[in-house]
Amino acid sequence: MLELKNISVEAEGKPVVMDVTLSVKSSDVAVLMGPNGSGKSTLVNAVMGHPHYRVTKGKVVLDGADITKLPTHEKATNGLFLSLQHTPKVGGINLATFLHKVHVARTGEESDILEYYLELRELAKTLSIPEALLDRPLTAGLSGGERKLSEILQLAVLKPKYAILDEIDSGVDVDAMKTVYAALDTVKKSGTGMLVISHHPSLLEHLRPDQVHVMNAGVLAKSGGPELATDVIKNGFCKVLECPVVETCRARKRS
């Protein structure tokens, strides 16, 4: 189980996230929703160790081990994966070479790069992800949709214990979205637990969540099952969360 226990986060010395507690079990899907600026991305970036955010309180516990203060690469080695909402543009290395280097670093085995490349091509084909992405730069020069498909392939190859996916469906067209969700379902069946940040209505059609959490103003405002996500998509955050977010929405309209 991945557990976030009473996590509070600061950015530039200001509190942004307060006392968030949630958990994700192996093979389960938890969805995190909330209005823009509610603290969702700040929370998951801080959990992974982004230097712009500081966890001031609470613990990140992965399968019983406290990993809160581990450096980012050690969190990844322990089985935690983060797909960023805004992927940085990284050139100078193609996706296949990057994945081979990660494989060697994780396993300590010097596998033949050509054989590994052929395995990657087969996996990409199985997931209906364009094989040409393997020969493209890691993220530089890719469209938003291509970057997301590249991350999905990385996720499928790495098979982490838990994956945090920050708007993995953002900027993805309808056809590519089907590929994304089908690949996520495959990864889920392999035992990976997922915390998915998403506002997209099609999420409920393709990847039925076990838990749904809604953040507002830096706190976890409401939790429930798939019906909560349905309610949010149908009625919006203002109505579902009542008073706390209604005032925020009105303030935004006034400004």
Q: Which two tokens stand for residue 203?
A: 């999420």
Residue from 30, 31, 24, 29 nearest 61 by CA: 24
Q: Which two tokens stand for residue 77?
A: 């080695």
Rg (C-alpha) for the chain, rounded Å, is 18
Question: Which residue has tokens 């939790």?
Answer: 223
Question: Which residue has tokens 């103003």?
Answer: 217
Q: Which two tokens stand for residue 100?
A: 């081979």
Question: Which residue has tokens 């982004």?
Answer: 50
- Is the Cβ–Cβ distance between 17 and 34 less than 8 Å? no
Q: Would the pTM of this model clear 0.85, i.e. be above it? A: yes
Query: What are phi and psi for residue 209, nearest 5 degrees?
Result: -75, 150
The H-assigned helical ranges of 111-202 are 113-126, 144-158, 174-189
Torsion of the alpha carbons at 120, 133, 28 and 49, rounded to the nearest 10: 110
Torsion of the alpha carbons at 31, 33, 36 and 42, rounded to the nearest 10: -50
Q: Identify the structural domains of the chain with CATH numbers, from first to last.
A: 2-94+143-148+157-254 (3.40.50.300)
Divide the 255 residues of the chain into consecutive groups of 10 and give the mean pLDDT of each group.
Answer: 96 94 94 91 95 95 96 92 84 90 82 89 92 89 84 90 88 78 87 88 78 93 92 87 54 43
Q: Are strands 14-24 and 219-224 parallel, antiparallel or unpaired?
A: unpaired
Bridge partners for 113 per DSSP = none
Q: Which two tokens stand for residue 235?
A: 């009625």
pLDDT of residue 243: 53
